[in-house]
Structure 1
Amino acid sequence: MLGTYTPAQLRAFLADQGKRTTSNYQLIELVQDTNIPNLFFLREVYGPHGLISSETWRHYHFPRASPDIVLSSYHEGNNTMLLVAEGRTELKLVKAQRPIGIESLVVHRDEAEIIYAGYAGGGVSASIGRGLAEGVNRIQVIQEGGGEKLGKGALWVPVRKHLIFAVDDTDNHETGATYDLVGREVREALEDSLDIRATYIAECNLHGVVEKTSNCFATAVGVTYDGREQTKEAIKRKVLEVLREKAMSDYGCVVFFDGFIIPQRVEEYGVKAKNERIESLDYVIDLAGQHQLAWHHVGKGTQKGKERGLKGALAALGLFWKLKYCAAPPGEPVPDDAKFYPDYYTSNQVIQGYAKKI
């Protein structure tokens, strides 16, 4: 069955052969960082929705078999997220230890070719299984896998982009809930009207201040989109439209960030806001300006200082990938049961190490 197939063509071919036409791969998505265009996150969703865990082994194998391409990895539920770099490598496959890897990732304008190879089930998924997933344009079966045979396939996927919107101060002392408005209503409005996929919703209760409501919540949502400038602007317009209509606070603010690698100083600010009161609004406005972050006041107020919601919005952006800090109570050390959470893709050691290579 060597050749190139769209998912529909591959299903038809398998049906003609009397073989199963479904795959455990639900979604494969490649997302390019805006600021470091040679870096991507590759998201593979495997197995039914709602599983506590599925296929955890891939999280360990890919970085070991393809260290020049897969820089780091994380697995939770049925999602495997790989931080990957464009390039080619000689695979370091070892049966039963690291039996599957990525041989190359090459971008061709708005599409990328990813070559997978592996033994046994890893070879079948490399050459066939992934070709049936949502998000795949087509797959080229280079070598059929299974058993002792090495399977190899070239997967062609769209190159998508990532946008984060981080929001604070949408409620007041009488009504409203920031996490519900941002994490549900705004997200659902986007999903109903645009081709977006949510990647992660970060809900962080920050250091308590008397001016804010009881939980001092700030929320950030990441979405992927087709990479077109008009789509990105449509996302921003819809976010602003819903927030300006439904935010109850005088002080609401939203920050937009293109990409997924959060600047280190913004991350450091997020951790600081988690643990102590931020007094200076000018400092926060200056920090946003230094990183050219677009932000908007979406509250009802017109008085001086109405932008104070920017303090929490920028903090939510800084904490976007930092699950262990989001899990910790404000002002307290990270609890032991949250320390296993990684800092996802924003490990500055990984990014700086890659930057030295290029």
Structure 2
Amino acid sequence: MQLELEDPYVVVYKQIHAVVDDDAKRVELLERSSCYGGSAWARYHYSRGPLVISSCNQGEWFRYMLNPGNVDLDLVSSKRSAGIESVKVSGSEVEVTYAGLGGGGVGATLSRARAEDVLRYDATECGGGRVARGAIVLPRRERMIIGVDDTDSKTVGATWSLIHNIAQKVDRPEARYISHSLVQLFPVPTKTQNCVSTVVEFACLPGRGEGMLGDFRALLQKYTVSEQTGMAVFRDFDPSELLAFGLRCKKERVSYEDAVKVAQEAGVQIIMKGQGLIGAIAALPFNARPDESIIPGTA
């Protein structure tokens, strides 16, 4: 049998999404890679571009916090060989234009244009020594963050694994499962074992996340083995207003009443009201921060 490559110079990203704040002043670009090495190279070069505020990678996901705008990248071989040239938010759509030299041009065009959930694209010829450009149009999405705590017992279960499995099951085009973090909390006497809550993140089409959320809740209610399960939802771009409370829950025991008050002030939706609600709310600001969230606080 003779082996053949369908497209030898294109490595297609699995998914690409754009999460936008209410004022369209910040865009987080979420790229789910099929080749870590290629995406790591892209992150190195893209992060030096004027539109990129910050970047990070978490497993398959490469994340870029962006300022909308249009810039001249002044591409230079081996130094800044590729980048994000333009970010435009227009109604329900976000257009991102990439540019690159040589192999960077391949990544800037067809590798991203063929990713799942891209609405349409316009790409120039790529490869060789030429500069290539590719513009992709993505649906504008909003962030939904779900915190959960206390689903297990002394003999059965682990919250982090149940929540990951639920999030994978309810993932769908209108509500994409993006990230998962375990959050180490203060070891209160009522803990099951390790006193760890869980937070997961979804990138949702506006007004289209409710079906996913309903299915998530139904699966949680079906499979939790605790009567004290807590579930809370934050629907906004940036949960940092809850960080002080989350850090406090890492350092000391916090009352249920305090947690509810904080949730109400921050507009957090309380879904399940068990004692685990404290940890569920505390987990929300650690969304997409899995390496920080596992660190214990200091009493």
TM-score tier by shorter-chain length is 0.7 to 0.9
- Structure 1 counterpart of 2:42: 58
Name structure 2 gaps, 5 residues minimum: none
What secondary structure, in the 3-state scheme, does the structure 2 residue paired with 1:308 have? Answer: coil
Distance 1:181 1:103 in 2: 40
What secondary structure, in the 3-state scheme, does the structure 1 residue paired with 2:63 have? Answer: strand
- Structure 2 counterpart of 1:321: 288
Report the AA paired with residue 236 of structure 1.
L
Identical aligned residues as a percent: 27
TM-score normalized with structure 1 length: 0.74
- Structure 1 counterpart of 2:247: 271
Aligned-residue Cα RMSD (Å) equals 2.5
Distance 1:311 1:155 in 2: 41
The one-character-per-residue Cα deviations of 1:220-268 (angstroms, maximum 9, x if unpaired) are 111223x141x2221221222222233232322111112342133x112
Distance 1:24 1:63 in 2: 21
Give the paired residue count. Answer: 295
The one-character-per-residue Cα deviations of 1:118-167 (angstroms, maximum 9, x if unpaired) are 211112322333222222222212x4333332111222222223211101
Task: Give runs of aligned pairs for residues 112-127 of structure 1, distance below 5 A.
Answer: 112-127=94-109
Distance 2:161 2:264 in 1: 28
Do residues 202 (structure 1) and 186 (structure 2) align?
Answer: no
- Structure 2 counterpart of 1:212: 191
- Structure 2 counterpart of 1:309: 276
Name structure 1 gaps, 5 residues minimum: 1-17, 299-306, 333-358
What secondary structure, in the 3-state scheme, does the structure 2 residue paired with 1:202 have? Answer: strand
**Is residue 249–residue 282 contact of structure 2 (8 Å, CA) maintained in 1?**
yes
TM-score normalized with structure 2 length: 0.87
Distance 2:215 2:116 in 1: 25
- Structure 2 counterpart of 1:33: 20
Report the AA paired with residue 291 of structure 2.
K
**Residue 54 and residue 76 in structure 1: after superposition, are their counterparts in 2 closer, same or farther (change >3 A)?**
farther
**Is residue 120–residue 149 contact of structure 1 (8 Å, CA) maintained in 2?**
yes
Report the AA paired with residue 158 of structure 2.
A
Report the AA paired with residue 295 of structure 2.
A
Report the AA paired with residue 322 of structure 1.
R
Distance 1:112 1:33 in 2: 9
**Is residue 109–residue 135 contact of structure 2 (8 Å, CA) maintained in 1?**
yes
Report the AA paired with residue 151 of structure 2.
T
- Structure 2 counterpart of 1:3: none
